[in-house]
Amino acid sequence: MMMPEHKVALNENDREMKKRQRIELDKQECEDITSIVAESMQYRVEISVQMFIN
């Protein structure tokens, strides 16, 4: 049997462990993404973009 505060602490710890770390893009990676988006707009090609939401 667990005390309620222990259960809350375990749930908070579990949530923290599941968080993804924010990826920092360098200048070249940003330019690559910009180029891909611009090209997809120019040729009207659908792309899929996943964004990091804090």
Q: Which pTM value belongs to this model?
A: 0.56
Per-residue pLDDT tens over the stretch 4-15: 888 889 888 888
Is 37's pLDDT higher than 90? yes
Domain boundaries, the chain: 4-43
Would you state the structure tokens that stand for residue 52, as one six-digit string?
A: 């990091």
* Number of alpha carbons in the 13 Å side-chain half-sphere of residue 30: 5
Average pLDDT over residues 29-45: 97
pLDDT above 90 covers a percentage of the chain that reads: 44
pLDDT band at 54 (very low <50, low <70, confident <90, very high): low
Residue entry with tokens 């707009």: 41
